Structure 1
Amino acid sequence: MTPFYAKDTPRDVPPDAPMNVLFVVYPDIVLLDLVGPLQVFTHATKGEGAGPAYRTHVVSLAGGATATNTILPIGTDPLADWLDPHCDVPIHTVVFVGGDGAIPAALDADFVAQATVLARRAGRVCSVCSGALVLAATGLLDGKRAVTHWEDCDKLAADYPAVAVEVDPIFIKDGHVWTSAGITAGIDMALAMIEEDLGKPAAIAMARSLVAPMVRSGGQSQFSAELDRQARDADGLFSPLHAWISDNLARRLTVEDMARECGMSPRNFSRRYANVMGVSPAKALEVVRVDAARDLLATTDKGVKVIAKHCGFQDAERMRRAFLRVARTTPSKYRQQFRLT
């Protein structure tokens, strides 16, 4: 990264100039919390053949090499370079990076004071993972909905009771303030910001460049039901069944159908499935259907009735009841809150 100082930038910034994105770090950050979103913003463009849409900078309290949770340190500029009272360089986005050092960083009065001034200058403020603890220390999360890594949600809620902490989403936008769950969720959040700034084609192009499987909406859960199934079924006994269910969601599936697919009697199948997976086959099927419906509600314009049939609920009322049980909200409210615009 080429060192850059805000005070060296001309005051008259062309309208098509790259937008400044500042990553605020401290000792013992999680490297991927930084480099994932950093990669997204660094290589985003305003269109084919266009120049970079953003100019990225990494800053810390004192500047210089900052330790990460890996063997690689990160070169940074002093945070104070952006606080010169004579500097009016626009700051588009400030990103507070996560890591084990977030707790001491949030208690460092000098660091928090400078970070607060910086954040209040920005048009958009966000955090990755436990960076939400530092962002909360600035007071900018007060009265806002927020999320962080599931391991830190209780601490965020306890230390900052004015913040409305949510455990499930991978990222949340509340006004100009964004927060994201753990590590790779920062990439999802950055892609959503690219969509907000540059449009959906630019976000999709970046996702393809990163070989990301899809542009995920914030409404997806940081608790992956698929990963949970894989963890519980370590021997892969029911992996073929789960793949078959996903391929046949629109059908009316019964326990007998699933038992037949596994080559077992319904009674033996139900018993073994519950022992391995920790839930009944019927409950597992409902969760798979709800997860599929979540994706469609957040990423498509399809009507609720169409989605209900596509995911095997047969009608919208059955899907509504399933959403209330699994997601604790209705499909319409879920779409309003998490739709990827």
Structure 2
Amino acid sequence: MVIIAYNDAQILDVACPTGALEIANGHGVLPPYAIELATVAGRSVRSSSGIALTGARRLASVTGRIDTMLVVGGHGTRTAMADDRMLTQVRRLARRSRRIASVCTGAFVLAAAGLLDGRRATTHWAYSDILAAHFPAVTVDPAPLYVQDGNVYTSAGVTSALDLTLALVESDHGPTVAREVARELVTYLQRPADQAQISMFLAPPPPGDRLVRDLLAHIAAHPGDDLSPAALAARAQVSPRHLTRLFVTHAGTTPARAVRAARTEAAAHLVRASELSLAAVARRCGFGSAEVLRQAFLDHYGVTGAKVRRMADMPEALDRPTAETSGHGGSAGDRS
């Protein structure tokens, strides 16, 4: 694996892949991963944290077949994507590579080199609109942790490099090795590619609206309670109509849709982490029956109830929202 870096690269974009591959090698994978850091000039570069990345070789000196070429992201991306020497070498090495990958804003370098034209790709959610605006030939999807389009892989921000690398290890050596690596890293085994970069639990409303923020925290912590709009309004000491206005303004959704999304996410995590039946999970999370829960999974994640049940033994999160978290569908205070 050739990892391409530059000044002001994000050090985690380098450390996550290299650390995971080092552990994979420790599990005796054959052939072992050979990792090389490469820069345009072949000199050490400074990461954005100030820590130097040493031991780099010059990009132009890399010859022969490459298994995986990976471009990292970071604050220095803007300079890197404007460096003709960088782009020339990225294009050259891409032709020699079995796989091409990027982490975070490293996607901008691949796009500037023309390697993402006509492909679906992702990057850190905060930069997805910029990537789409600068490179209209690229279909930018801001939601997934990583995207595979043919032999080109792009991943979201920072630690999603770990998810991407685990997926590559699984592709190369099977799920058992990937799970052993993930266990040693003390991380999820492993998050699926289409898990959303931001679940509703990580995307609170602006700090200025304390009422909505506190209610969302209450909803997430008590999915089995009475969370009807009337009950939430009473808790907040406002009218149901005013509560809806506040949620739409500050959370981008209605109270009922927020409740259903929170209950569905809570149920997904409980299914994954326990051996409870779907009926028991449904009761704990405010759904009236396993069938209603299955429908919620189908609406929210696009998977059937049977598939969700099979995932109970799989260490994967289901956090990819569909229409419900974007403000479409859902029923008022659903406790059915």
TM-score tier, shorter chain, comes to: 0.7 to 0.9
Q: Name 1:25's counterpart in structure 2.
A: 5
1:225/1:46 CA distance change after superposition, 3 Å: same
Is the Cα contact below 8 Å between 2:257 and 2:327 reproduced in 1? Answer: no
Q: Does 1:79 align with 2:78?
A: no
- Taking the aligned partners of 1:174 and 1:164, their CA distance within structure 2 comes to 11
Q: Does 1:244 align with 2:199?
A: no
1:165-189: CA deviation from partner (whole Å, max 9, x where unpaired)? 1111111111111001111111111
Q: Does 1:36 align with 2:16?
A: yes
Q: Name 1:160's counterpart in structure 2.
A: 135
Q: Name 2:79's counterpart in structure 1.
A: 104
Is the Cα contact below 8 Å between 2:254 and 2:327 reproduced in 1? Answer: no
1:182 is aligned, of 153, 157, 165, to 157
Deviation at 1:288, TM superposition (A): 2.1
Q: Name 1:66's counterpart in structure 2.
A: 45
Q: Name 1:215's counterpart in structure 2.
A: 190
Q: Name 1:255's counterpart in structure 2.
A: 228
Residue 35 of structure 2 aligns to a residue in which SS?
strand
- Taking the aligned partners of 1:295 and 1:197, their CA distance within structure 2 comes to 28
Residue 180 of structure 2 aligns to a residue in which SS?
helix
Deviation at 1:326, TM superposition (A): 3.1
- Taking the aligned partners of 2:102 and 2:110, their CA distance within structure 1 comes to 7
- Taking the aligned partners of 2:254 and 2:183, their CA distance within structure 1 comes to 37
- Taking the aligned partners of 2:228 and 2:327, their CA distance within structure 1 comes to 25
- Taking the aligned partners of 1:319 and 1:210, their CA distance within structure 2 comes to 29
Is the Cα contact below 8 Å between 1:171 and 1:185 reproduced in 2? Answer: yes
Deviation at 1:220, TM superposition (A): 1.1
Is the Cα contact below 8 Å between 1:42 and 1:55 reproduced in 2? Answer: no
Gaps of 5+ in 2: 301-321, 330-336
1:174-206: CA deviation from partner (whole Å, max 9, x where unpaired)? 111100111111111111111111111222222
Is the Cα contact below 8 Å between 1:26 and 1:60 reproduced in 2? Answer: yes
Aligned ranges for residues 1-341 of structure 1 at < 5 Å? 21-45=1-25, 47=27, 53-75=32-54, 76-83=56-63, 88=64, 90-229=65-204, 232=207, 237-238=214-215, 239=217, 241-245=219-223, 248=224, 254-255=227-228, 265=235, 268=238, 275=246, 278=251, 279-291=253-265, 312=287, 314=292, 319-321=297-299, 323-326=322-325
1:1-42: CA deviation from partner (whole Å, max 9, x where unpaired)? xxxxxxxxxxxxxxxxxxxx1100111111111111221122
- Counterpart of 1:63, as a letter, is G
1:237/1:273 CA distance change after superposition, 3 Å: farther
Is the Cα contact below 8 Å between 1:99 and 1:131 reproduced in 2? Answer: yes
Q: Name 1:16's counterpart in structure 2.
A: none
1:92-119: CA deviation from partner (whole Å, max 9, x where unpaired)? 1111000122122112112211111111
Aligned length: 291
Deviation at 1:143, TM superposition (A): 1.0
Is the Cα contact below 8 Å between 2:2 and 2:69 reproduced in 1? Answer: yes
* Segment of structure 1 superposing worse, 113-122 or 286-295: 286-295
* Segment of structure 1 superposing worse, 221-230 or 178-187: 221-230
- Taking the aligned partners of 2:327 and 2:227, their CA distance within structure 1 comes to 24
Deviation at 1:151, TM superposition (A): 2.2
- Taking the aligned partners of 2:297 and 2:116, their CA distance within structure 1 comes to 34
* Segment of structure 1 superposing worse, 286-295 or 123-132: 286-295
Deviation at 1:54, TM superposition (A): 0.9
- Taking the aligned partners of 2:190 and 2:148, their CA distance within structure 1 comes to 16
Is the Cα contact below 8 Å between 2:123 and 2:155 reproduced in 1? Answer: yes
Residue 55 of structure 1 aligns to a residue in which SS?
coil
**TM-score relative to the length of structure 1:** 0.72
Is the Cα contact below 8 Å between 2:201 and 2:220 reproduced in 1? Answer: no
Is the Cα contact below 8 Å between 2:71 and 2:102 reproduced in 1? Answer: yes
- Taking the aligned partners of 1:40 and 1:94, their CA distance within structure 2 comes to 16
Is the Cα contact below 8 Å between 2:118 and 2:139 reproduced in 1? Answer: yes
* Segment of structure 1 superposing worse, 123-132 or 223-232: 223-232
Is the Cα contact below 8 Å between 2:29 and 2:173 reproduced in 1? Answer: no
- Taking the aligned partners of 1:175 and 1:69, their CA distance within structure 2 comes to 31
